[in-house]
Amino acid sequence: MSMIEHSPDDLRQRVLDGNHAVRHPDPHQSGSAVVSGLTTDELLLLHSIDWEPVELVSGACTVGFRIGTWSPFAAGNTSHPSGSLTEALARSVQRLERACLDVGAFGVVAVTTDLDIQERYASVQLTGTAVRPQRPGRRPEAAFSTNLSTKEFVVLQRGGWAPRSVAFGACFVRIRRRSFGDALSQMVRNVELANFTQALAAARADTMNKVRERGQGIGGGVVQVSISDGRLPFARHVVSFVACGTIIQPSPRELLQFNARMAVDLRDREPSFQATSLRGPRAHEPTKRSGISGSGSTWGMSIRTRLRSAMRPTNYEE
């Protein structure tokens, strides 16, 4: 854990120095202004790997849908709106990366997505902070973009990987109406609504395929994929799926590994005494553990589970 430590007196002196600097600005101070969406914590993290923020950049695209796209009586094909939205997301990423190169940066981190799907059109706006190394070498031909936070970007860099681009996939699925016979037969029985299951499964698969194809096109893997889905408020029979992730590749220059340091947490996570057992002889008995504490990736979870099973004390009640 990185820490900056100052005594309270140092901090007070810093406040006085800062106040003096504001009252009496240095006429020789030069440099260009930096507008960044990163917090001071993120700035420190970025500086720790010798990178710096440059400017706030954005990319946007708005596409129109055809007449009758959401009609409940139309055929089930939703390839046009799905293709339009996927293309809008891809163009936004391209524009974001181009804006990044225009300001002399190498890539964009902490990209946020503002997606607005309306009955007649869909709008996408991506915003992030352009960053570059503090000692930049040759200017890259293509900028990278990532929806990873600065912390995650730093960990990725330290691990010898580099983000390439944000990958998106989008799909709309129209839930077909059941036939009269199906509706009648399902009225009094608890059965699977197969048409719904199939439609949603196909749409999810299609969305993920688009993300995978994008990753395959660039030649990398996709991490931190998330799929958001929901019914469209203006067309309740249509469900939208949007998947987003970051394509990563091994960094050509830095062949590092994720050397995670092991740490044992010695803080008590269970109460030392249970109120119900204070009168009896079981007062100092450890309490039963339940589940895996904390959250994390599947990787982290499996590691923890394995370690726990190896280190499990015998007196625990399981």
Partner 1 sequence: MSERSTNLDFPATAIGRLGRGAFSATLSMQDFAFCDSMGLEPLDLVEGYCVMTKRAPLYSGRPLGVPAPYAARGTRLPSALDTAYTKTYRCPHRTFGLRGDHPAFGRNAEQVFLSTSWRRGFDLAYRRMVAQAQHAGAHGVIGIVDGQQPFGDLPATEFRIVGTAVRITDAPIPTGRPWTTYLAGQRLAKVIEMGFMPVSVVVQRTWIAVWASCMTAYLMEGANIRRGPYDESVLEAEQVSDARMAATRIATRRLKEQLGSDSLFGVTVETTEEELHSGNRLFGTALSGTRLRRFAKPSEVDAPTPVMWLR
Site for partner 1 in 41-80 (CB under 8 A): 41, 43-45, 47-49, 53, 55-56, 58-67, 80
46/107 Cα distance (integer angstroms): 13
Binding flag, residue 39, partner 1 (CB under 8 A): yes
Rule CB under 8 A: choose which of 101, 158, 224, 250 binds partner 1.
Answer: 158
Side chain identity, residue 278: L
Distance in Å, CB of 112 to partner 1, minimum: 8
Q: Is 164 left (phi over 0), alpha (psi -120 to 50) or beta?
A: alpha
User: What's the gap between Cα 188 and its chain centre?
Assistant: 43
CB 108 within 8 A of CB 97: yes
For partner 1, give the closer residue by CB, 83 or 140: 83
| Footprint of partner 1 on 258-317 (CB under 8 A) | 258-265, 269, 292-294, 300, 303-304, 307-308, 311
| Footprint of partner 1 on 94-153 (CB under 8 A) | 95, 99, 114, 116, 119-121, 123, 125, 127, 151
50/132 Cα distance (integer angstroms): 9
Binding flag, residue 87, partner 1 (CB under 8 A): yes
Q: What are phi and psi of 118, to 5 degrees?
A: -115, 175
For partner 1, give the closer residue by CB, 14 or 231: 14
Q: What are phi and psi of 286, to 5 degrees?
A: -65, 150
| Footprint of partner 1 on 206-235 (CB under 8 A) | none
Put the strands of the sheet holding 221-232 in their side by side order: 161-174, 235-250, 221-232
For partner 1, give the closer residue by CB, 15 or 193: 15
Binding flag, residue 33, partner 1 (CB under 8 A): yes
